[in-house]
Protein backbone atom coordinates (compact mmCIF):
# COMPACT_ATOMS: atom_id res chain seq x y z
CA UNK A 1 0.00 0.00 0.00
CA UNK A 2 2.80 2.42 0.89
CA UNK A 3 4.71 1.65 -2.32
CA UNK A 4 1.57 2.28 -4.37
CA UNK A 5 1.18 5.64 -2.67
CA UNK A 6 4.83 6.49 -3.43
CA UNK A 7 4.28 5.57 -7.10
CA UNK A 8 1.17 7.76 -7.21
CA UNK A 9 2.97 10.74 -5.67
CA UNK A 10 6.01 10.30 -7.90
CA UNK A 11 3.95 10.57 -11.09
CA UNK A 12 4.52 13.79 -13.01
CA UNK A 13 0.91 14.93 -13.05
CA UNK A 14 0.59 14.94 -9.26
CA UNK A 15 3.83 16.87 -8.84
CA UNK A 16 2.83 19.34 -11.57
CA UNK A 17 -0.50 19.88 -9.84
CA UNK A 18 1.20 20.47 -6.48
CA UNK A 19 3.58 23.02 -8.00
CA UNK A 20 0.62 24.71 -9.71
CA UNK A 21 -1.31 24.99 -6.45
CA UNK A 22 1.69 26.46 -4.61
CA UNK A 23 2.39 28.98 -7.37
CA UNK A 24 -1.32 29.78 -7.58
CA UNK A 25 -1.45 30.57 -3.86
CA UNK A 26 1.58 32.84 -4.16
CA UNK A 27 0.09 34.49 -7.24
CA UNK A 28 -3.18 35.07 -5.38
CA UNK A 29 -1.28 36.89 -2.64
CA UNK A 30 0.38 39.09 -5.26
CA UNK A 31 -2.93 39.91 -6.95
CA UNK A 32 -4.58 40.62 -3.58
CA UNK A 33 -1.80 43.08 -2.82
CA UNK A 34 -2.07 44.57 -6.32
CA UNK A 35 -5.77 45.18 -5.89
CA UNK A 36 -5.64 46.32 -2.27
CA UNK A 37 -2.51 48.47 -2.47
CA UNK A 38 -2.52 49.79 -6.05
CA UNK A 39 -5.86 49.46 -7.83
CA UNK A 40 -8.25 50.32 -4.99
CA UNK A 41 -6.47 53.62 -4.16
CA UNK A 42 -6.69 54.61 -7.83
CA UNK A 43 -10.39 53.69 -7.97
CA UNK A 44 -11.05 55.56 -4.73
CA UNK A 45 -9.23 58.59 -6.15
CA UNK A 46 -11.66 58.72 -9.06
CA UNK A 47 -14.66 57.99 -6.81
CA UNK A 48 -13.94 60.73 -4.30
CA UNK A 49 -11.86 58.84 -1.75
CA UNK A 50 -14.13 55.83 -1.26
CA UNK A 51 -12.36 52.82 0.23
CA UNK A 52 -14.04 49.59 -0.88
CA UNK A 53 -12.65 47.48 1.93
CA UNK A 54 -14.46 49.54 4.55
CA UNK A 55 -17.80 49.62 2.75
CA UNK A 56 -20.62 47.72 4.38
CA UNK A 57 -23.96 47.89 6.09
CA UNK A 58 -24.19 47.14 9.81
CA UNK A 59 -26.96 44.60 10.34
CA UNK A 60 -27.00 44.67 14.13
CA UNK A 61 -26.02 47.08 16.85
CA UNK A 62 -22.81 46.96 18.84
CA UNK A 63 -19.11 46.49 18.21
CA UNK A 64 -19.40 42.80 17.42
CA UNK A 65 -22.55 43.14 15.30
CA UNK A 66 -22.90 41.51 11.92
CA UNK A 67 -21.83 43.57 8.92
CA UNK A 68 -22.91 43.09 5.30
CA UNK A 69 -19.43 43.86 3.87
CA UNK A 70 -20.13 44.37 0.20
CA UNK A 71 -16.88 46.33 -0.15
CA UNK A 72 -14.85 43.19 0.55
CA UNK A 73 -16.94 41.39 -2.08
CA UNK A 74 -16.11 44.10 -4.63
CA UNK A 75 -12.41 43.66 -3.82
CA UNK A 76 -12.71 39.87 -4.18
CA UNK A 77 -14.49 40.34 -7.52
CA UNK A 78 -11.70 42.60 -8.78
CA UNK A 79 -9.13 40.02 -7.59
CA UNK A 80 -11.00 37.28 -9.44
CA UNK A 81 -11.22 39.26 -12.67
CA UNK A 82 -7.50 40.03 -12.63
CA UNK A 83 -6.56 36.41 -11.87
CA UNK A 84 -8.97 35.11 -14.52
CA UNK A 85 -7.51 37.52 -17.11
CA UNK A 86 -3.92 36.52 -16.30
CA UNK A 87 -4.80 32.81 -16.44
CA UNK A 88 -6.56 33.41 -19.78
CA UNK A 89 -3.45 35.10 -21.14
CA UNK A 90 -1.22 32.25 -19.88
CA UNK A 91 -3.46 29.60 -21.46
CA UNK A 92 -3.54 31.58 -24.69
CA UNK A 93 0.28 31.81 -24.70
CA UNK A 94 0.69 28.08 -23.93
CA UNK A 95 -1.75 27.18 -26.72
CA UNK A 96 0.17 29.40 -29.14
CA UNK A 97 3.44 27.65 -28.22
CA UNK A 98 1.79 24.22 -28.58
CA UNK A 99 0.38 25.17 -32.00
CA UNK A 100 3.80 26.39 -33.16
CA UNK A 101 5.41 23.14 -31.99
CA UNK A 102 2.72 21.08 -33.75
CA UNK A 103 3.26 23.03 -36.98
CA UNK A 104 7.00 22.39 -36.76
CA UNK A 105 6.37 18.66 -36.27
CA UNK A 106 4.03 18.62 -39.26
CA UNK A 107 6.65 20.39 -41.37
CA UNK A 108 9.27 17.84 -40.37
CA UNK A 109 6.91 14.93 -41.07
CA UNK A 110 5.84 16.34 -44.47
CA UNK A 111 9.39 16.97 -45.67
CA UNK A 112 10.48 14.42 -48.25
CA UNK A 113 12.66 11.84 -46.59
CA UNK A 114 14.72 11.12 -49.69
CA UNK A 115 15.52 7.70 -51.03
CA UNK A 116 15.97 4.89 -48.57
CA UNK A 117 19.08 2.73 -48.43
CA UNK A 118 17.23 -0.04 -50.28
CA UNK A 119 16.24 2.39 -53.06
CA UNK A 120 19.84 3.53 -53.48
CA UNK A 121 21.15 -0.05 -53.54
CA UNK A 122 18.50 -1.03 -56.11
CA UNK A 123 19.47 1.93 -58.27
CA UNK A 124 23.17 1.02 -58.05
CA UNK A 125 22.33 -2.60 -58.92
CA UNK A 126 20.29 -1.47 -61.93
CA UNK A 127 23.12 0.79 -63.10
CA UNK A 128 25.64 -2.04 -62.74
CA UNK A 129 23.39 -4.37 -64.78
CA UNK A 130 23.29 -1.83 -67.61
CA UNK A 131 27.05 -1.43 -67.64
What is the DSSP code (8-state) at residue 61?
S
Question: What is the structure's pLDDT at 113?
Answer: 67
Query: 52: exposed, middle or buried (C-beta count within 10 Å: 0-12, 13-18, 19+)?
Result: buried
Question: What is the structure's pLDDT at 96?
Answer: 92
CB 44 within 8 A of CB 52: yes
Distance CA 101, CA 21 (A): 26
Distance CA 126, CA 121 (A): 9
Question: What is the structure's pLDDT at 112?
Answer: 65
- 78-129 residue pLDDT tens: 878 887 887 788 889 888 988 888 888 777 666 566 778 888 889 898 888 8
Distance CA 40, CA 26 (A): 20
* Single pTM value for the model: 0.52
- 47-65 residue pLDDT tens: 777 667 777 788 777 777 7
Element housing 68 (H / E): strand 67-68
CB 114 within 8 A of CB 123: no
Judge whether residue 3 has pLDDT over 80: yes
Amino acid sequence: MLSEFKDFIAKGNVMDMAVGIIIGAAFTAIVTSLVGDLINPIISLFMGGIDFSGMGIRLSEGEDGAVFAYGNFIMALINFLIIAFVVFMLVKMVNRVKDAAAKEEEAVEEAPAGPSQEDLLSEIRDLLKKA
